[in-house]
Amino acid sequence: MTLLLKEMTNMMGQWGWGMGFGWIFMILFWGFVIVGIVALIKWFSDQSGSRGRTALEILQERYARGELQKEEYEQKKRDLLG
For residue 5, what is the DSSP state?
H
Cβ neighbours for 65, distance < 8 A, ≥ 6 positions apart: none
In SS3 terms, 8-56 reads as HHHHHHHHHHHHHHHHHHHHHHHHHHHHHHHHHHHHHHHHHHHCCCCHH
Where does the pLDDT of residue 47 fall: very low under 50, low under 70, confident under 90, or very high at 90 and above? confident
Domain co-membership, 5 together with 37: yes
Domain co-membership, 38 together with 59: no
Domain co-membership, 9 together with 37: yes
R_g over Cα of the chain: 31
Domain co-membership, 4 together with 37: yes
Q: 13-17, 18-22, 31-35, 69-73: which has the minimum mean pLDDT? A: 13-17
Checking if the pLDDT of 4 tops 90, the result is no
Expressed as residue numbers, the domain containing 18 is: 1-43
